[in-house]
Amino acid sequence: MTGYTAALDWARRHVSAGRIPTAVLGVADASGVQVLDAFGATDGRVARVDDAYRLFSITKVLTGLAAARAVERGLLTPQTPLAAAVPEVAAREDAVRLSHLMSHTSGLIEPPLDPAEGLAAALRRPGRDFAVGTASRYSSIAFEGAAELIRHATGRSWEDEVRAFAPGLVLEEDAYPHAIPGVEASLDLPRFAASRHPGAGAIGTAGALLELGSALLRGGGEVVRPATLAMMRRPLTTGIPRLEPYPAERGQDWGFSWNLRTRAPGLIDRDVYGHAGWSGTEFWVHPSAGVAWVLLTNRANGHGLDADELDNAVVSGV
C-alpha cells in the first residue's frame, strides 16, 4: 500500500482544496484490490469506499465489452451495420457499422446527453456531421446505436448484458448517494436518468470497476477472451482527423470503445487503455505495469484537474 501514497495524497489534496467534493481512489493488480480509500463529503454525507457514483462515459467501455461479448458468441461482428437493428438508417448511402459506433467515427449528429425527444429519436435524426469513417468526433449517441445492435442480436438490453460480467456497475438510481454540484446548469438529471443512456448512464462502485480491471489484467477470458481484448485495443482512428474535444495532439486513438493514450505527452507509461467520465470519473488499465486504477468523484463539467498527474503517481507506485 505504501507505494501508492503519492496517488492517495493527490486525491486528498484536491478534495481538501475544494476542487472536488469527494473522491474514491483505488488501485488493483491481477490478484485484486491493492489500495482503496475515500475522501471528502457531499452535503455532510462522508464518502465511503463502497459508495456508488455516476460513471458517465466510463459506461461506453461497458457497452463496448457487452458488444464484444456478442461478437464472441457469433451474434455480431465489428462490421455489422447499424441498419440491421435500425432499418430507418438503411436508405443512407454511407453505412454506419458497429466499429464506427465504437470509435466515434460514425458521423452521427450529436444531441445533448438528455435529448428532449429521447435517445431513440435522436439516433434516427437525419443528416451527418461528417462522412462515415472520415474523421473522429466524440459521440455518445453512437452508443445508443450499439445498444440497439446488442438488443437486436442478444434479445437483451445493454444493461442486462453488462450485469452478466459486472453487476456492480449497472446499479439502480437510488444506489447513488452523492449529488453533483452544478449539474442542473447543463443536464436535466431526471430525464437523463430515465433514458438509461448506454454511453453515459451507468452507476457503480470503485470496487466493481477494480474487479473488472483485475479480470482484464489476468487475461483469462473472464470478461472477454485475450484475442477479443486485443481486437478492442487496435486503433481505429489512425490517419484520420481527430476533432474537438479530442484532437490528435492529445496523443490518443480510439479503439473498440477504449481510449488508447499511446502518444499522450503527459504520461510516463503510454501502454494504457481506459476511459474518463463527465463528472471526473477515471478508469485506466496499464497492462505492462500490471495495474488498473479508478477515481470516482462528483464535479459537474469536469473538475479541471490533470488526471495525468494521478496516472503517473499510480504507475510510479507499482
Residue-level pLDDT at 93 = 66
State the CB neighbour count (10 A cutoff) for residue 253: 25
147 closest CA partner among 174, 122, 127, 168: 122
CB 255 within 8 A of CB 235: yes
CB 278 within 8 A of CB 57: yes
pTM as predicted: 0.97
Say how many Å lie between the first and final Cα of the chain, rounded: 9
CB 44 within 8 A of CB 201: no
Q: Where are the beta strands (DSSP E) in the chain?
A: 22-29, 32-42, 45-46, 52-54, 203-205, 253-254, 259-260, 273-276, 282-286, 291-297
- Domain range for 216 is 2-316
What the block records as the C-alpha cell of 115 is 435529448
CB-count exposure of residue 232 (10 Å: 0-12, 13-18, 19+): buried
What does residue 251 show for φ and ψ, rounded to 5 degrees? 75, 45
Residue-level pLDDT at 183 = 83
What total number of domains does the chain contain? 1
d(CA 285, CA 288): 9
What the block records as the C-alpha cell of 29 is 493488480
> How many residues comprise the chain?
318
CB 307 within 8 A of CB 295: yes
Domain of 289, CATH number, reads 3.40.710.10
Residues of the chain with pLDDT under 70: 1-2, 91, 93, 302
What does residue 217 show for φ and ψ, rounded to 5 degrees? -65, -35
Residue-level pLDDT at 272 = 98
Contacts of 170 (CB under 8 A, 6+ apart): 62, 159, 162, 163, 202, 203, 204
Contacts of 305 (CB under 8 A, 6+ apart): 14, 19, 20, 280
d(CA 211, CA 28): 8
Residue-level pLDDT at 248 = 86
d(CA 211, CA 205): 10
